[in-house]
């Protein structure tokens, strides 16, 4: 989930990151360019992630992760008004407030 939109992506690698609170996603999978009909949503994703090998996503932005047998469509869609998905309150970790002067 990013700025009120849901990104549906397919990747070969998903793991917990070494960075606290992040999910590491790599090996993005897109349709081959040989198709005659081009999905503009997938093209937007392809250009947004062009040259990206690995991205780090805050874990509270992830709605779900599925392992699938067959790849579906990559797309960006608006978060439905009546959806029961909301962003987790931030920050999850607040450092101590010891102010030593």
pLDDT, one tens digit per residue, over 47-66 is: 888 888 898 999 888 888 88
| 27: helix, strand or coil | strand
Quick one: pLDDT at residue 92? 56
Quick one: pLDDT at residue 87? 55
Rounded mean pLDDT of 9-26? Answer: 90
Report the alpha-carbon distance of residue 31 to residue 101 in Å, rounded. 57
* Inter-residue contact 56 to 19 (CB < 8 Å): yes
Locate the DSSP E strands across the chain.
Answer: 5-8, 11-16, 22-28, 54-58, 75-78
Quick one: pLDDT at residue 29? 84
């Amino acid at each position: 989930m990013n700025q009120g939109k849901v990104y549906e992506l397919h990747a070969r690698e998903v793991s917990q990151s070494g960075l606290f609170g992040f999910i590491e996603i790599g090996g993005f999978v897109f349709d081959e360019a040989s198709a005659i009909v081009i999905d503009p949503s997938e093209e937007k994703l392809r250009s947004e992630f062009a040259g990206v090998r690995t991205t780090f996503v805050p874990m509270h932005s992830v709605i779900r992760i599925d392992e699938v047998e067959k790849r579906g469509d990559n797309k960006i869609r608006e978060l439905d008004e009546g959806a029961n998905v909301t962003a987790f309150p931030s920050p999850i970790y607040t450092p101590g407030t010891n102010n030593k002067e």
